[in-house]
Amino acid sequence: MTTPTLLTISGSLRKGSFNRMLLKQAAVAFGEATVEDADLNLPLYDGDLEAREGIPPAVQVLADQITQADAIVISAPEYNKGISGVLKNALDWVSRVPGGALAGKPVVVLSAAAGRTGGEVAQFMTQQCLASFQVRLIPGPAVLIAAAMNEFDADGNLPNESYQKAIAGKMQALRAAI
Ligand SMILES: Cc1cc2nc3c(=O)[nH]c(=O)nc-3n(C[C@H](O)[C@H](O)[C@H](O)COP(=O)(O)O)c2cc1C
């Protein structure tokens, strides 16, 4: 197989995001790949903006990254027991780009959160939202990093072996689905 392209998508914009850290761990577990990182710093979806100016360039970049990806991993933060506005906004924009870039793509959804359930609600909500894009969601045990502030070290590593094992299982399944 030629080197696959893995697209990492963080539903949190902040630099020190635990979901970003989780995506880095996931990319390592995926193995050799060209890793592209999505930037979800997009304008808010607005039908008037779309009618006036069409698809914003940053959204088109994201849609093109999705098209070129062989596999996609999304990490979803949990905000008030739901999907982050940043991630939902990105999905809403992508759904407006002709061509259905996400259709048929193998996708893994992970989550890291401060709470004890590791962002479970946000992770399932993300999967529900993705259903209408006809992605190929990778099944299997969910990767939910609970109390994330206690799990990642200063370098963004995740020493907990059971988490590492769960991430490896999920990412190897993603690779196999290409
Ligand atoms: C607006 C807001 C709402 C939050 N709601 C939840 C929540 O419902 N469940 C939870 O476990 N953590 C919640 N948190 C804490 C986040 O899990 C924590 O800030 C986490 O670090 C966010 O992900 P990030 O590190 O990738 O930015 C919330 C944080 C913010 C800012």
Q: Tokens for 151? A: 């799990």
d(CA 97, CA 25): 30
Ligand 1: centre distance to CA 100 (Å): 30
Cβ–ligand 1 distance for 14 under 6 Å, the answer: yes
Confidence of residue 1 (pLDDT cuts 50, 70, 90): low
Give per-residue pLDDT as tens, 151-172: 999 999 999 999 999 999 999 9
pTM of the model: 0.98
Helix, strand, coil in percent for the chain, rounding step 5: 40, 15, 40
Please identify, by atom number, the ligand 1 atom nearest to the C-alpha of residue 21: 26
CA-wise closest residue to 80 among 43, 39, 114:
114
pLDDT at 84: 98
Report pLDDT digits (tens) over 36-86.
999 999 999 999 999 999 999 999 999 999 999 999 999 999 999 999 999
Closest C-alpha residue for ligand 1 atom 24: 17
What domains appear along the chain, each with residue ranges and CATH number? 5-176 (3.40.50.360)
Q: Which of 89, 81, 76, 93 is nearest to 12 (CA)?
A: 76
Whether 123 is in the pocket of ligand 1, judged by its Cβ within 6 Å, is no
